[in-house]
Amino acid sequence: MFQRDHIIAIAAAIGSFLYYLWQSCPTFYFWDSAELAAAVAGCGIPHPPGFPLYLVGAITFDKIIPVDAARATVLFSVTCTALTVAIFYLILARILRLFELNFFAGKIAALAATLCYALSYSVSAQATRAEVYSLNNLIFCSALYIFMGLFSIKSDSRLSAPKFMLGTFFIGLGLANHHLTIMLLLPAIAYLAFARRAQWTTLIAGLGAMLLPLTLYLVLMGFARNGPELNWGNPINLGGLLDVFLVSGFNKSPAMLNLGHLLENFAFDLDLVYRQIGPVFAILAIFGAIYALKIRQPLLYFLILIMGFNLLSTIFNETYFDENLDLHGYLLFSLGITLILSTIGLASIAGVLLRRSAVPATILIGLVAVVIPGATNLGAAALANNYSAKKLATEIADQCAPNSLLITSSYNTYFITRALQDVYGYRRDLKIVNVYLFNQGWYRGLLADRFKLNPGRSDLGESEIFYKTLLNELHDSIEIYIEYDEKSAPLRNYLEPAGLLYKFVTEPVDIARLGEDGFFDGDIKFFEDYCHPGMDYEEMKSMLWFVFNRARYLNARGHEEMAEIYSVEVERLAAECADK
């Protein structure tokens, strides 16, 4: 039945859609956003686990919306996040009905929490650029809404098989998108089945419904024929598909499971969530947990299990921690659960303690709770009129001669230049490869075929030797540009600085002569002119990477004084990054 809550949810979806659309990036952004845009444009495969559901959804969106793939992927994120906000409100409304709290106070509490959720940086950042977490959060909230319907204070009936199957089907959709975060919901689902005394037939049916969407991974086998080289993995067969699904290309450190590391990360996560919701909602979440423990224990345990394992998932995101977009994407579930508890807390205080003044008190508390974090979060993720990634990619591409080879080391550089080619068709003559993919046998084989290297040579099996072989066999027929880092350090004597890049030459480069000609003065001026006030944060970080590697290059060549000039520039940029 169409209820008042659905009208409010539709209004929330429309309002948040317009808010995110106003802030959204007009083109591809840095890192994964550029990678996803390139993958959608070329029906290729991004990094493991390949995100097949995202690819199918975003490619369909790209075909329907008459814009380029970069803009289409951003609009896909805007749409997914706006729908998520609407469903989040419906989750709160459903939970408050379970607790049978003050009707009007509950509605106000739900609206306040929904507004805080929609304005939060973690949620907004998924909407203003292409990210798989936008779809991931939509799937999570859809499943959570269904599972909330399986809880009832008064009913002791067995678990509804159809609803349970529908909820687990959504979990399966999540596994076909970003499986690590969704996979860690399974303990909470198991608890739900235990608490509601699910029959074996219901569990088996639920498992089948969850496994069904995993067949979407077979789509990657078809896409692998179009262009698997964006990142790790080539699922051209079942073995390659399994490697992608298991994320076998990523390095995993035992340090992730160190107890001290875990505690440090948990504290970091909780602090990040706290900064998103502010002190009032944080206190209300504690009250909500206490009230739920007293009135409705099974629901509280279900929510706490989701949050606990979601916090655990972030240790696989980084072996060290800093505040990055991936971390915000991983923590979306914990942010949502915290605001659910905050809503219960606010509604319970209003309905149980305040009674007659419940509605005005709820309005006042809710307003203060939203304004405190909202003052910081409002517009913080805005990328309107931001062409910084495309601008930097164009700058890099234009520094390469026609029909040349660009060997990148940063995945960021690789993704944005590939997106420039695949989305806009700009500098398709430029052949772009990534040195860190040389560790992958399938990638070496792909490049050996593309550049007609001798496939029978035994020394093509190692990354370092393959790198040398590629340079030795191509330098006479094509100009080669390299993005300097430790992988290319052994070639330093044959690398001539060329803008942000280095041109590979066959004779040793005389750095002193370049310095005497005023090259480095002009070089520093280029960096200073490029790094203008108000520069985008990720763009500045990218420039910091280039300047830092210039200093490393000069130090490795024995020109410490010149390197010091760049070190000063690195410190200046780093300070500006810290200020942002």
Residue percentage of the chain with pLDDT more than 90: 49
Confirm whether 9 is domain-assigned: yes
If pLDDT is split at 50, 70 and 90, which confidence band does 486 have?
confident
* pLDDT of 59 over the 70 cut: yes
Claim to verify: residue 145 and residue 210 sit in the same structural domain: yes
If pLDDT is split at 50, 70 and 90, which confidence band does 396 have?
very high
Total structural domains in the chain?
Answer: 3
- What are the DSSP E strand ranges found in 323-479? 405-408, 431-434
If pLDDT is split at 50, 70 and 90, which confidence band does 252 have?
low
Claim to verify: residue 198 and residue 282 sit in the same structural domain: yes
Average of per-residue pLDDT across 557-580: 76
Least confident piece of the model among 189-193, 321-325, 405-409, 570-574:
321-325
Q: What are phi and psi of 229, to 5 degrees?
A: -85, 5
Number of Cβ within 10 Å of residue 22's Cβ equals 12
Three-state SS for 346-366 is: HHHHHHHHHHHHHHHHHHHHH
* pLDDT of 131 over the 90 cut: yes
Q: Which one has a higher pLDDT value, 73 or 254?
A: 73
Q: If you average pLDDT over every residue of the chain, what do you get?
A: 87
> What is the per-residue pLDDT for 578?
61
Claim to verify: residue 91 and residue 193 sit in the same structural domain: yes
Number of Cβ within 10 Å of residue 564's Cβ equals 13
Residue percentage of the chain with pLDDT more than 70: 89
Q: Of 492, 509, 526, which marks where a domain is finished?
A: 509
Structural domain of 197: 4-377
Least confident piece of the model among 439-448, 460-469, 553-562:
460-469
Claim to verify: residue 343 and residue 418 sit in the same structural domain: no
**Residue 325: exposure state from Cβ atoms within 10 A (0-12, 13-18, ≥19):** buried
Least confident piece of the model among 113-117, 151-155, 223-227, 481-485:
151-155
Q: Residue 161 in contact with residue 170, Cβ under 8 Å?
A: no
Claim to verify: residue 549 and residue 443 sit in the same structural domain: no
pTM of the model as a whole = 0.92
* Highest averaged pLDDT of the listed ranges 359-363, 413-417, 434-438, 475-479: 413-417
* pLDDT of 319 over the 60 cut: no
356-374 in b/e burial notation, b at 16+ Cβ within 10 A? eebbebbbebbeebbebbb
Q: Of 377, 400, 416, which marks where a domain is finished?
A: 377
Claim to verify: residue 476 and residue 369 sit in the same structural domain: no
Average of per-residue pLDDT across 306-316: 83
> What is the per-residue pLDDT for 1?
45
Claim to verify: residue 478 and residue 371 sit in the same structural domain: no
* pLDDT of 457 over the 70 cut: no
Confirm whether 322 is domain-assigned: yes
pLDDT one-digit tens code per residue, 356-391: 677 888 888 889 999 999 999 998 899 999 999 999
Q: Which one has a higher pLDDT value, 576 or 54?
A: 54
